[in-house]
Amino acid sequence: MYSATNRNRSPDHHKPSYIQHTINKVTKQKKKQSDKINTKHNKVEETEETQKHTCTTTKEGNTNENAKYIIPAKRNANAANQAQTRSNMETSEIIYDEMQGTIEQFLQTWNVETLLTRNASGLCINVQAQPDERVIQQIMSKFDELDDVTEEAIDQIAREHKFLYGKWIIHASKANVSREWSLIAHSFFKTGCKISMRNEIDEYAIYVYIDDYLNSERVFECRHALWHLGFRTPIGLKPEIYTMLGIYSHNSLGIRPSRYKS
């Protein structure tokens, strides 16, 4: 009744194809950094070949850092290693389709225990936060054109492309995940929720989605509902566009991956 759709995983378990952009960006940043250092030390003008490289460097795949910035090599290497790890984690998710049955039928068929036996990475229920490829490329292009990468600049891109989804992220231990996922799934199946496995650290991530992370009233209305369900440990809300752009913890842009903490 329900089918598994192959998807790459990342720590946020969202389209790690975006993360490949980080590796491409890192490679270009290292090249530009090396060119500038050599120019300074040799006290010569930038060569024609360097100018050609600068002018023809492709923007395809750029996400995590802006091509106009020089980033320390150590940070670059760290970003590349993280990105490669995410890109190598390929599994599948089970996606709920209301045309194929009720939410109760879905949850009875697919639960945390069945994920372990079916080699599936997670369960998605009414998650709409996935734009088409055309919108993705437009967002990437706008991001690459930024001279100053700030929260406000990224918010503006999100507004322009009406990509304002956000997600409260709950980390669940193996001992508590079945109970917590059941609470979330029954309470937020209409607005969107998801659970993903993180086998490497024996932990699960549960996501509760909102349609506008810039609307603080909606953001905290959702958090208030989670509080009353018993989720009272501080959690963070991450804009989905941050996931798309590869903005994770310790990113070299200095942008916090969670917009809200509560």
Percent of the chain with pLDDT over 90: 52
Sorted by where each starts, the structural domains of the chain and their CATH numbers stand as: 4-261 (3.30.760.10)
- Confidence band for 117, pLDDT divided at 50, 70 and 90: confident
3-state helix, strand, coil in the chain (%, to 5): 45, 15, 35
pLDDT average, residue stretch 88-116: 81
pLDDT-derived band at 21 (thresholds 50, 70, 90) equals low
Q: What's the confidence (pLDDT) of residue 81?
A: 39
Judged against a pLDDT cut of 50, whether residue 26 lies above it is answered with no
The residue-averaged pLDDT of 63-74 equals: 28
pLDDT tens per residue, range 176-233: 999 999 999 999 999 999 999 876 567 899 999 999 999 999 999 999 999 999 999 9
Segment of 5-14, 32-41, 133-142 carrying the highest mean pLDDT: 133-142
Rounded-to-integer distance, Cα 64 and Cα 54, Å? 19
- Per the prediction, the chain carries an average pLDDT of 74
Query: 146 or 200: which carries more pLDDT confidence?
Result: 146
Neighbouring residues of 219: CB distance < 8 A, sequence distance ≥ 6: 166, 210, 213, 237, 260
How deeply is 256 buried, as exposed, middle or buried, from its count of CB atoms within 10 A (0-12, 13-18, 19+)? middle
| pLDDT at position 88 over 90 | no
Give the CA distances from residue 79 to residues 75, 91, 206, 253, in Å, rounded to whole numbers and listed in that order: 6, 22, 24, 11
On the question of pLDDT at 30 being above 70, the answer is: no
Residue recorded with tokens 């752009």: 245
pLDDT at 134: 93
pTM (predicted TM-score): 0.67
Average pLDDT of 69-82? 34
